[in-house]
Amino acid sequence: MTDIPIIEAEIEPIKPDTVLYLCDRKACDNCSYPLCNHTTDISHAFNFEKGLGGGYWEKEKRDLHD
C-alpha cells in the first residue's frame, strides 16, 4: 500500500453536525479513494438505499454483501 500525502489546504473543513457516510465511490467524476472515502450525499452512501416513500434506509449487516 502506498502512502498518499494529505495536503490540508485542499481539504474542505467539516461543519459541526455534518453527517458523513461511507461512499459508494460513484459520487465524483474523479474519485480519490482511498484519500477520500466519505460523502455527505446520502444518495451515494454505501450502506443506505432509497426505500418506502423515497426515504433512505440503512442496510442491515446481513444485506451489505448482497
pLDDT in tens, 37-57: 899 999 999 999 999 899 999
Bridge partner residues of 39 (DSSP) = 21
Give the separation between CA 5 and CA 32, rounded to whole angstroms. Answer: 12
pLDDT value, residue 7: 56
Q: Is the pTM of this model over 0.95?
A: no
pLDDT tens per residue across span 7-34: 555 667 889 999 999 999 998 888 888 8
pLDDT-derived band at 1 (thresholds 50, 70, 90) equals very low
- Which percentage of the chain shows pLDDT scores above 70? 77
Pairing of strands 38-39, 48-50: unpaired
